[in-house]
Amino acid sequence: MGFFAAVGAFAIVVLAGYLLLRHLDNKQSQAEINRQLIVKSGDSFEFEKFCKMHPELPHQQALLEFYKDKDKKNEAIKQAKENIKREHEIEDKLNREYTIKRVFAYKYERFVLSLYSPLAKQSKGSIDDEEWECSESLPSFYLLHKLKQEYGEIEGDSLFDQFIENDLISSHYGTNSSYYLGSILGIHYNVVSDADLNMTKYIEQYGQRCTYDELQSEIKNIRESLF
């Protein structure tokens, strides 16, 4: 075989290898597209049934075979679009509701965070990011007492209900004997603007209102005075 013939043969082998790899890449891409379509269209259960009916098919091949029927795939695409649209509508609604609650919280965030600050403990969210989190609850009588003390009898009663409605405080499994710091203020990434306070920002700026033991003593004294 001459030099040019050898080069030509080598080029053919390289081209064949390239086409094979491209074919494999296309199959992998199509399998990934089908995988996402299965999830978005709600066909996960049907795909599980399909895999059980065809145990001889490798997972990637099963993904390719599942939507081999064009009508089935078109129906799945239609359903996926409807589901995605519905998800966006729900997300938009939740964002609007959240913004309304967060705006309400602006006026009271410092007061609420001060009440819960003695319960906050430091935990590492990442290597360079230390967050203060509050996983304990406060008795409802204590919260109501502090609200009335700060805002007066009538407004304190009203604010207690508004704090619950706007997720500044939340009960555990529907009980009303104690309340946790609500999601609006309790989760560090739930912010609308950089000015929003959360427990970490509050403690960085103001510190903990008192120690944990001092808080427990205060709760005990208020309980004894009320009951």
pLDDT digits (tens, 9 = 90+) for 34-73: 888 888 889 999 999 999 999 998 888 888 888 888 899 8
**pLDDT tens-digit profile of 107-121?**
999 999 999 999 998
DSSP structure string for 91-145: HHHHHHHHHHHHHHHHTTHHHHHHHHGGG-EEEEEETTEEEEE----EEHHHHHH
Categorize the per-residue pLDDT at 188 as very low, low, confident or very high, splitting at 50, 70 and 90.
low
Residue 115 CB coordination number (10 Å):
19
**Contact of 171 with 108, CB cutoff 8 Å:** no
pLDDT over 70 at 221, yes or no: yes
pLDDT over 80 at 190, yes or no: no
For residue 7, the model assigns a pLDDT of 41
Categorize the per-residue pLDDT at 133 as very low, low, confident or very high, splitting at 50, 70 and 90.
confident
